Amino acid sequence: MRSNRWKFILGSLIILGVLTWLGVTGIRETQTYYLTIAELQAQERLPERLRVAGDVVAGSIRREQGRVRFQLQQSENHLNVVYVGSEPLPDTFVDGAQAIVTGSLGRDHVFQAHQVQAKCASKYEAVPPGPTARPPDASN
Amino acid sequence: MELVGSFALLLAFCLCAYAVVAALLAARAHRPLLLESAERATVAVNGLLLVATGCLVALLFANDFRIAYVAQHSNRALPGFYKFAALWGGQEGSLLWWSCLLSIYIMLAVRLNRRTHRLLMPFVIAVAMSVQLFFLLVNNFAAHPFQLLAFTEGGRTSVFTPADGGGLNPLLQHPAMVIHPPMLYLGYVGFTIPFAFAMAALLTRSKGEQWIHVTRRWTMITWGFLTIGILLGARWAYAVLGWGGYWGWDPVENASLMPWLTGTAFLHSVMMQEKRGMLKVWNMALVFATFFLCIFGTFLTRSGVLSSVHAFAQSPIGPYFATFIVIGLVASTAVLLSRLDFLKSENQLDSLLSRESSFLFNNLILLASCFAVLWGTLFPLISEAVRGVQITVAAPYFNKVNVPIALFLLFLTGVGPLLAWRRTSVESLHRNFTRPLLVGAAVAAVSFVLGVRKIYPIMTVFLGIFVVATIAMEFHRGARVLRQKSNWGWLAATVALTKRNTRRYGGYIIHFGIAVLFIGISGSAFSVEQQAEMQIGSETTVGGYRFICRDLKMSETENHVSAAAEVEVYRGGRLLTKLYPERRLYKASQQPTTLVAIRPRLQEDIYVVFTGMTDDGQRAVMQIFINPLVNWVWIGGFIVVLGTLIALVPSAPPESFVLQARARRAAAEKERDAVPV
């Protein structure tokens, strides 16, 4: 009777241990830091995956073969961004749009974005219950 | 109209408060008339909420843009079908809808159970109506659906009526979106009833297991709705969002999955209590957890807390929900702790190889999965609170934890139902599992030979087929016994078997559906995705199919402007189909949306998305996906829902079969006797 209980507890601990390990490594592999532009520019050592939000500076969008360069603004701070992802940019990505870019900061202090999410500045309203629109890179 | 609605809401609030007080007094003083009055109050609240909801719908149809909600979520050109859907297109409307559905549930629960559960009823009403009261509080004072659009200028407030509304979010303008939110809400809201019964049983120290039957039934009903809601949401994401998948571990999706996981755990562990008198505290905790996860899910999706901890304080409803959850958790935990003596387990675990232990493991990993999902969803908040920086985790984390859990669950799905209670002999293990294991292994081997080389999909196929085989064996066994006693055919015997124990065989059908669904999900490991820039006449090849663009054209309607392509799909030299992916810009909301073109087939879908035009405006950018086995997800889901329905039908007692058979035989004999010789 008693030994069964211990066997069960032992089994549970093994299962939970494995799952915890998977969870911890999973978080480590995908964690993305959400920083402000000021924090980004102030920090010396930056994590690998970053996410930054800001408004697209009007007139800053320049399209060059396969790449799109633009500038993000958050209060006083500006950040140069180059989009290197493969997905087409969303239609909502226009001058003045609020954008969230995910990627990393290059040595030249230009942000290399793999993914850009954008929403029109005025029309945004939280999507009602049920699954919301998600970034195109999400996979199953 | 808005006055009628507002008044109905306010009156409902008052009556609801009355119902809570009256029910509590009735319980204390044992006054049946007061109780009856409280019961009638639930009906009145229900009627008033139907009136309020009706008013909002009428205002939406009347294009009454004085009302802020109508102006923000509808417009003149919106088709009537979607004007109705605009009811749950925004915050205020969907919370009103929540309230309305809850009042329907409560009224039905009271109607159906008032005679059979007389002693529980006062507390059931008090608890359920307290939840209702909270939602009415939010409806009336935090998110009022009948607010007028007004502005204040120099101390004078005037009402402002725009010429047209902002329109419904175009992503929601899809048939699945008309039915998905009601289903999901029916799932969320309905868990209030099991919660109320569980609380009532605790408060009254209700002896006997009667309340648990009623709770289980209501849990099954709402679990069924939640399942439909989640699947429709996935289906909608797949057909509308155009990223090629159906589940992205989005916070809103996670919010709906968590109560589903704990609800599933409860539906299993409740059998331990019914059959063996074990896990009583645990079952209570599961009911509570499921209910609060439903409220928490509504809170997560509605308060904006996930964008930042700080956003939540600014949202009008965030603090309300947070307070309610805290008070509710404290109160229900206190009640649970004060009744621990009454919840003593009657038995102990006898063996690791037993039905009991399979249920325990089932619960353990369902809860682990729920916790992992919760942790990942809240990680940005936790990291912001602890380390001052928001850290988000992405889909790979969720998959990494949940795929092994899903496989282990699938394994238990096959093994658990065939293990005996208390302990299982090695001989019965051999008898039950050797053949299914061989069948599973054979199919897995075939899929390996056919080129499946990834470990998780192979294991899914192996375990999925194993589950299907054990279920088939169970049906076969039962039907064979029946056939020996009668002259039924296999089909008739199977049907009769299912009717006799709907819960057991309905459960098997649900398991079958889950196995099919998991096999469908495993197909996503083999999805192919490619982007192509196309103009008229250009072609591209993806996953063995050849795509030729035949036409590109622009068009315009009252509601939207669109760009559409005609794409022919060939395999070998044969034309398979023509697809028409489209991209629309909705005029009212100025939001673009894509209409995915899908060629659904059982083996794989061809999925073409018109993502936009190139900068020079000459070519269309197409995203082409080949998605294997996707349709099995929907088929599996359908089977799960079917199984749930079967399990909800009361079992026909075998006696009645016997009696019927006897009566039939007697009638036949009479007939024979009556025939003149």
Cβ-nearest to A27 among B234, B389, B397: B397
- What is the pTM for the complete model shown? 0.87
Q: Would you call A66 an interface residue with chain B, using a CB distance cutoff of 8 Å? A: no
Q: Quote the pLDDT of residue A122.
A: 41
Rounded Cα gap, residues A120 and A109, in angstroms: 27
Q: Would you call A109 an interface residue with chain B, using a CB distance cutoff of 8 Å? A: no
Q: Which residues 212-231 of B are in CB contact (within 8 Å) with A? A: none
Can you name the residues that pair with B531 across neighbouring β-strands? B623
The size of the A-B interface in CB pairs under 8 A is 176
What is the 3 state secondary structure string of B272-320? HHHHHCCCHHHHHHHHHHHHHHHHHHHHHHHHCCCCCHHHHHHCCCHHH
Q: Quote the pLDDT of residue B661.
A: 63
Q: Quote the pLDDT of residue B481.
A: 86
Q: A66-92 burial, b if ≥16 CB within 10 A, otherwise e? A: eebebbbbbeebebebbbebebbbbbb
Q: Would you call B642 an interface residue with chain A, using a CB distance cutoff of 8 Å? A: no
**Residues in chain B closer than 8 A to A63 (CB atoms):** 615
Segment A19-68, tens digit of pLDDT: 989 888 888 888 888 888 888 887 777 777 888 888 888 888 887 766 78
Query: Which is nearest to B39 in space by CA: B53, B22, B27?
Result: B22
Q: Quote the pLDDT of residue B381.
A: 83
Query: Which is nearest to B513 in space by CA: B329, B647, B315?
Result: B647
Q: Would you call A40 an interface residue with chain B, using a CB distance cutoff of 8 Å? A: no
pLDDT over 50 (residue A123): no
Q: Which residues 170-209 of B are in CB contact (within 8 Å) with A? A: 171-172, 177, 180-181, 184-185
Segment A75-90, tens digit of pLDDT: 888 888 988 877 767 7
Q: Quote the pLDDT of residue B208.
A: 64
Q: Would you call A92 an interface residue with chain B, using a CB distance cutoff of 8 Å? A: yes
Q: Quote the pLDDT of residue B657.
A: 55
Could you tell me the two tokens for B35? 């109780």
Q: Quote the pLDDT of residue A127.
A: 35
Q: Which residues 15-34 of A are in CB contact (within 8 Å) with B? A: 15-16, 18-19, 22-23, 25-27, 29-34
Segment B93-126, tens digit of pLDDT: 889 999 999 999 999 999 888 888 888 889 999 9
Q: Quote the pLDDT of residue B306.
A: 67
* Nearest chain A CA: its distance from B526 CA (Å): 11
Q: For residue A119, what is the nearest residue in chain B, using CA coordinates?
A: B591
Q: Would you call B237 an interface residue with chain A, using a CB distance cutoff of 8 Å? A: yes
**Residues in chain A closer than 8 A to B250 (CB atoms):** 131-132, 134, 138
Which residues does chain B have with pLDDT short of 50? 676-677
- The answer to whether the Cβ–Cβ distance between B400 and A4 falls below 8 Å is no
**Residues in chain B closer than 8 A to A35 (CB atoms):** 389
- The answer to whether the Cβ–Cβ distance between A138 and B248 falls below 8 Å is yes
What percentage of residues in chain A have a pLDDT greater than 70? 80
Rounded Cα gap, residues B4 and B48, in angstroms: 10
Cβ-nearest to A19 among B166, B372, B612: B372
Segment B17-70, tens digit of pLDDT: 999 999 999 888 878 888 889 999 999 999 999 999 999 999 999 888 888 888
Segment B269-313, tens digit of pLDDT: 988 888 888 888 888 899 999 999 999 988 887 766 666 555 555
H or E element in which residue B14 lies: helix B2-29
Q: How confident is the model at residue A140 (pLDDT cuts 50, 70, 90)?
A: very low
What percentage of residues in chain A have a pLDDT greater than 90? 2
DSSP symbol at B575: E
Could you tell me the two tokens for B586? 């909705």
Q: Quote the pLDDT of residue B589.
A: 67
Q: Would you call B585 an interface residue with chain A, using a CB distance cutoff of 8 Å? A: yes
Q: Parallel, antiparallel, or unpaired: how do β-strands B560-571 and B582-586 relate? A: antiparallel
**Residues in chain B closer than 8 A to A16 (CB atoms):** 364, 368
Mean pLDDT of chain A: 75
- The answer to whether the Cβ–Cβ distance between B349 and A88 falls below 8 Å is no
Q: B363-402 burial, b if ≥16 CB within 10 A, otherwise e? A: bbbbbbbbbbbbbbbbbbbebbeeeeebbbbbbebbbbbb
- The answer to whether the Cβ–Cβ distance between A130 and B233 falls below 8 Å is yes
Using DSSP's 3-state secondary structure scheme, residue B598 falls into strand
CB B591 within 8 A of CB A68: no
- The answer to whether the Cβ–Cβ distance between B250 and A18 falls below 8 Å is no
* Nearest chain A CA: its distance from B353 CA (Å): 10
Q: Would you call B380 an interface residue with chain A, using a CB distance cutoff of 8 Å? A: yes
Q: Which residues 53-112 of B are in CB contact (within 8 Å) with A? A: 72, 88-91, 94
Q: Quote the pLDDT of residue B560.
A: 82
Using N-to-C axis directions, what is the helix angle for B280-303 and B210-236, rounded to 10°? Answer: 30
Q: Would you call B360 an interface residue with chain A, using a CB distance cutoff of 8 Å? A: yes
Using DSSP's 3-state secondary structure scheme, residue B63 falls into coil
Q: Quote the pLDDT of residue B570.
A: 92
Rounded Cα gap, residues B28 and B102, in angstroms: 26
Cβ-nearest to A33 among B252, B372, B391: B391
* Nearest chain B CA: its distance from A14 CA (Å): 12
Measure CA of the first residue to CA of the last residue in chain B; give whole Å. 78
The dihedral sign for the CA sequence B664, B670, B676, B677: positive
Segment B499-520, tens digit of pLDDT: 888 888 999 999 999 999 999 9
